[in-house]
Amino acid sequence: MTAPGAQGHGPARWRLTGIGLLALGVAAALYVVGRLHQPDYTFSMFGADPFPPKSLLATIALALAGIQILLASWIYRKLPLAPRPPRRVPVAHRVTGFVLFAVTVPVAVHCLIAYGVQLTSARVAIHSIAGCFFYGAFTAKVVLVHSRRLPGWALPVAGGTLAVVIGVLWYTSALWYYNGYQLPHL
């Protein structure tokens, strides 16, 4: 957990830079592997039509991300009128985060093997890049959780970024499927 009063100067700045570079490296490695990989459109971990189960898992991940935000807000005492969080709240936050990550793995494995990283349309490109970015951001958040003497804003920014990326992934995949294979107009 980051220290609430830590400043982003000196050693903390170098730690944050290193964590950012690690996250960028993970995302870039996934991007390169996905671009070099020859897609196998016949591969499916989910049967003949992978879209319904993948969309369900993505929706579960989105719901878990919402729960993560609520639990983190409670832990950091940012929920109005909420009492002090009991000890089980941080545990629930960790367990929910683990389950969220676990739910994304089969979807990511299927996407990487079946499709790789594609840039064929704006929706597909955004989804592919966001998928790579998610695992880089997740790596950064895990390292931030175990880091000391970092600015207090670093962990909430990493967690919020993960939630936004999950929203982007859901919008460009599950919502696209649920909306008849087209994105709704905003």
* pLDDT tens profile 105-155: 999 999 999 999 999 999 999 999 999 999 999 999 999 988 888 898 999
**Half-sphere exposure for 39 (CA within 13 Å, toward CB):** 10
Q: Per-residue pLDDT tens for 68-77?
A: 999 999 999 9
pTM of the model: 0.89
Interior/surface letters 33-60, b for 16+ CB within 10 angstroms, e for the rest:
ebeeeeeeeeeeebeeebeebbbebbbb
